[in-house]
Amino acid sequence: MNRCAIAALFAAAAVSLSAHAQTHRPFTPQTLRGELVVQQSPDVTLNGKAARMAPGARLRSDAHMLLPPGSVAGQKLTVHYTLDPNGLLMDVWVLNSAELANKTWPRTAQEAATWAFDPATQTWLKR
């Protein structure tokens, strides 16, 4: 394979990843939105309050790649997250621009319980 063909393949892959990062990922009705700051993993602040990441927790970038918590330490990130049964952060997704554009998303379990979620469109409607 010549160098031009290899360069074209890398360029196509980069465009594909960029396009993927701008789409909505599938979230569940248990997924909440918040502001996360990684202190020293597993310690974080979530919505300005001390919290912890669960053992085995996953942090994903806006391109859906696994992200080492230390690589974003100190940064304020808008995220979607789920909690384990003990209230520890289990899955955390840094939002991409398409997901950020969807402004209506519950920030508490109480809001989620009173709103309606459409998994097909990944949108919430306030009742």
67 located within any domain:
yes
Summarize the confidence of residues 20-31 as an average pLDDT. 82
122 domain-assigned: no
Say if CB 79 and CB 33 are below 8 A apart.
yes
Q: Is residue 126 part of a domain?
A: no
Q: Is residue 123 part of a domain?
A: no
pLDDT for residue 16 is more than 80? no
Structurally, how many domains does the chain consist of? Answer: 1
Interval 66-115: pLDDT, tens: 999 999 999 999 999 999 999 999 999 999 999 999 999 999 999 999 99
Global confidence as pTM: 0.81
| Confidence at residue 1, expressed as pLDDT on a 0 to 100 scale | 55
What is each CA distance from 61 to 34, 57, 97, 116, in whole angstroms? 15, 13, 12, 27
Q: Would you call 65 exposed, middle or buried from its count of C-beta atoms within 10 A (0-12, 13-18, 19+)?
A: exposed
Domain that holds residue 51: 3-116
Is 125 inside any structural domain?
no
pLDDT in tens, 70-82: 999 999 999 999 9
Question: H-type helices in 22-120, by residue range?
Answer: 97-101, 109-114
